[in-house]
Chain A
Amino acid sequence: MMIPVRCFTCGTVIGEHYEEFEARASEGDEDPAEVLDDLGITRHCCRRMMVSHTDLVDVVAPYQ
């Protein structure tokens, strides 16, 4: 639904970087790998948290 606050595997706080990652890599045209490096998300456990996440708030909001 919302990006998890921390990486499931290592516990690093990753939630705070999600909006910037979305803006630069998904909506923008930057290379996702370079954006993640730039944000300091270097481990592959943390990177998959960002890359594989889908926000579902807009999907479920009408049924609230």
Chain B
Amino acid sequence: MSGEFDVQIIERDDRQARFVVRGLTPALANGFRRAMIADVPTFAIDSVRFTENSSVMFDEMIGLRLGLVPLTTPLDEFEIGDTVTVALDVEGPATAYSGDIESSDELVQPADENIPIVELKEGHSLEFEADAVLDTGKEHAKQQGGVAVGFRHLQSVTVGDDIGEFDEQEPEILRGAIETDEGEVVLTKEFDHDLTNKYPGTELTVEDVPGAYVFHVETDGSFDVAELVLRAAESLGDRADELHDAVTA
């Protein structure tokens, strides 16, 4: 296997990206996917000390919801196991939102402000202090930075002869991104996921491109996609080094 990977970004914004990597084996592609899910740590609320909870939900239910709120995680500033104290104090009638959570650290804030925690009626109130802990998805699913991380084979299309004028053309549904006849990688949503919209009236052959995979990566907002992908690649490298050192020592 060659030492060089060819990476081509198809679409990208803060929380979502799609890119093609060439020169991978299926095992390595899956290792990379798993590293993005389980190896990149994020902050999540882990223990909650309730001062008052007269809402319609039990402490445990609120604790679960709090754990799932994504918190921004600048990974350069923190190490696994670090904690940040957060607090919330809301009196009804009102809805307690994730945006009402106050953090003791400016860098660690709720990534989304509009997540309803619990709706409080007249006379209800919610007050607590909680610890957010930095840990990996291996420890608990709430600490996963990547959500819906997946990959599939890159498929290439070869355009053949025209089909007969009165022949029925079967739809050819594809997902994600494909490589066209000209060697260009395009998103399938550009032709509504049906290849016959792009190449009407021709015979089409769709084949997997060996060693090329299309990754689709989303983050929960703890950090941007670039950070997630780079940290995952770094963790794979670190583990390979660790194995190398253990074997050669």
Contacts and interface: CB of A to CB of B under 8 A. Distances in A.
Interface of A: 1-6, 10-13, 15-19, 43, 55, 57, 60-61, 64
Given A19-B114, A19-B116, A61-B56, A13 B70 contact: yes
Contact of A2 (B65, B114, B141, B148): B65
B118 interface: yes
Contact of B218 (A6, A12, A57, A61): A12
Contacts of A43: 148
A13 B221 contact: yes
Contacts, number: 64
Contacts of B57: 1-2
Contacts of B124: 64
A2 B147 contact: no
Contacts of A13: 68-70, 111-112, 115, 220-221
B103 interface: no
A60 B147 CA distance: 33
Secondary structure at chain B's binding surface: helix, strand, loop or mixed?
Answer: loop
Contacts of A57: 56, 118-119, 121
A43 B150 CA distance: 14
26 contacts: A1-B57, A1-B61, A2-B65, A2-B118, A6-B68, A6-B147, A10-B147, A11-B141, A11-B144, A11-B147, A11-B220, A12-B147, A12-B148, A12-B220, A13-B68, A13-B70, A15-B115, A16-B98, A16-B112, A18-B116, A57-B119, A60-B56, A61-B56, A61-B121, A64-B54, A64-B121
Interface string B79-116: 00000000000000000001000000000000111111
Contacts of A16: 98, 112-115
A22 to B, nearest CB: 11
A61 B114 CA distance: 22
Given A5-B69, A13-B69, 16 more contacts: A2-B57, A2-B65, A2-B119, A5-B65, A5-B115, A10-B148, A11-B141, A11-B220, A12-B148, A13-B68, A13-B111, A13-B112, A16-B112, A18-B116, A57-B118, A64-B124
A19 B115 CA distance: 9
Nearest to B118: A2
A20 B141 CA distance: 27
B238 to A, nearest CB: 25
